[in-house]
Amino acid sequence: MGPLQGRTLSVLLSITGLTVRYGATVALDGLDLTVAPGELFVLLGSSGSGKTTLLRAVGGFVQPEAGRIVLDGTDLGTLPPYRRKVNTMFQSYALFPHMTVATNIGFGLRMQGLDRAATDARVTEMLELVNLAGFGARRPAQLSGGQQQRVALARALAPQPALLLLDEPLSALDPNLRRETRAELVRLQRSLGITFILVTHDQEEALTMATRIGVMRDGKLVQVGPPAEVYEQPNSRFVAEFLGAANVLPAVARESGRRLELPALGASVCTAQAIPAGPLLLAIRPERVRLGATDGLNSVQGVVVDCAYAGESLTHSVRLADGSLVRAMQSLRDGRREIRASVGDTVTLSWQPDACILLPP
C-alpha cells in the first residue's frame, strides 16, 4: 500500500450508524455523515431534530448507543471531550466569568502544555484575528454580546482544533450584527482552513454560509448537499418547506412525460424534466411565481387574499379554487414599479416549467 493510500485525505470526519437515546426518546437514529477537510458544513433543523445532539456526540458530551465517529482516521469511541482534537463554540458561549478575556482564550493552550510566553503570543494573535486587540485584560461580563461571541470563537479556535463545532453561534446576536458576523465567520473559516460544523435553525444562515447543508429531522439527515442543490432540488416536501418557502400542490402524472395534472384545480402544467406516471407533489418557490398571465407558461387562477410589503419584496397570497394558498413574491430590487393587485382581485399566476419542483407524495 502506498503512503497516500493508507488514509483517505478527502474525509476528515466520518460518522456511521450513530444512535443516541435519551431514555425512551431517540435523539439520533442511525445517522451517517461524512465531512471533508476545509468544509463549512451546516446542520439545519428545527429544535428537537437532533442537530445539537449530533454536535455533542462529536464533542464527546453524550455517549452514543451505537455507531462510530472517526476523526482524521482516529475512532473517537469513548474518548472523553478533553482528549478529542475537537473544540466547541457553545451557544451560551460558556466563557469563564472569573478569568480575563486573555486567560479565557489561552485556556486551551495552557491545557495543551504551552508555556506562558507562547500562550500570550498566540492569545494576542487571536485577539487581533477577532478584532478585540486591547480587550485581553477585561472580563467577559464587561463585554457586549457581540464581543463575547468573538471571545468564545477565539477561545475555541486558539488550540487549532482539527474540527470546530459551532452550536447556534449567531443566535444570541441582534439581526444586523448577525448578518455581519456571518460573513466574518465565513472569511475566518476560509483563511484558517479549519473545518467547521455549524448548527443552526436559521435557513438564511445555512444558505449563505454553508459549503454543504445537512437538513435534519427526527434524528436523521433527510438531505445533504450544497446550498443551491438542496434549495433547488429538495428531495421531500419537508426539505422544500423547511429551506425557504414553497407552494405545494398535489399533482398526478397520467403517463410518463412532461405533463402534470392538478386534479383539484382542473388544470395541467408542463415541467422541465420528464416524470414517470403516478401521484406526486408539485412545489414552486414563491419567487418563481409571477402575477399575471404570460404566454407559453403554466398558469392557474385565484383570488388575492393578502398583499405583504417587506421593503425588498412584495408578496401576494392567492387562494386557488381548491382552497390552497399560493404565494407569489416579486423582488423590488430593480426599482421597477411593482405589479400590485388588491385583495379580492381575481388574478392569474404563472411560472416557467423549470420552476416546477417535483416531490414524492
The site for another protein (CB under 8 A) is made up of 59-61, 80-82, 86-88, 90, 92, 94-99, 107-108, 111-112, 139-141, 155-156, 159
Contacts of 330 (CB under 8 A, 6+ apart): 287, 290, 291, 313, 314, 315, 338, 339
Comparison of 2 and 113: residue with beta carbon closer to another protein: 113
* Minimum distance from residue 64 beta carbon to another protein (Å): 17
DSSP line for 133-149: TT-TTS-GGGS-HHHHH
Contacts of 64 (CB under 8 A, 6+ apart): 18, 19, 20, 28, 57
C-alpha cell at 140: 467577559
* Minimum distance from residue 87 beta carbon to another protein (Å): 6
Task: Using the CB atoms, write b or e for 120-130: b if 16+ within 10 Å.
Answer: eebbbebbebb
Alpha-carbon span 53 to 64, nearest angstrom = 10
Q: Are 93 and 148 in contact (CB under 8 A)?
A: yes
For helices 145-157 and 101-111, the axis angle rounded to 10 degrees is 20
C-alpha cell at 320: 386557488
Comparison of 161 and 225: residue with beta carbon closer to another protein: 161
Comparison of 43 and 55: residue with beta carbon closer to another protein: 55
* Minimum distance from residue 201 beta carbon to another protein (Å): 19
Comparison of 111 and 133: residue with beta carbon closer to another protein: 111
Comparison of 84 and 212: residue with beta carbon closer to another protein: 84
* Minimum distance from residue 120 beta carbon to another protein (Å): 17
The residue type of 289 is: V
Q: How far is CA 50 from the centre of its chain?
A: 14
Comparison of 94 and 293: residue with beta carbon closer to another protein: 94
Q: Are 59 and 165 in contact (CB under 8 A)?
A: yes
* Minimum distance from residue 21 beta carbon to another protein (Å): 18
Comparison of 155 and 201: residue with beta carbon closer to another protein: 155
* Minimum distance from residue 221 beta carbon to another protein (Å): 24
Closest-CA residue to 181 (of 213, 135, 144, 227): 144
Taking the CA atoms of the chain, what radius of gyration do you get in angstroms? 25
* Minimum distance from residue 71 beta carbon to another protein (Å): 14
Comparison of 147 and 208: residue with beta carbon closer to another protein: 147
* Minimum distance from residue 83 beta carbon to another protein (Å): 8
Q: Are 20 and 57 in contact (CB under 8 A)?
A: yes
Comparison of 88 and 223: residue with beta carbon closer to another protein: 88
* Minimum distance from residue 350 beta carbon to another protein (Å): 52
Alpha-carbon span 18 to 13, nearest angstrom = 13
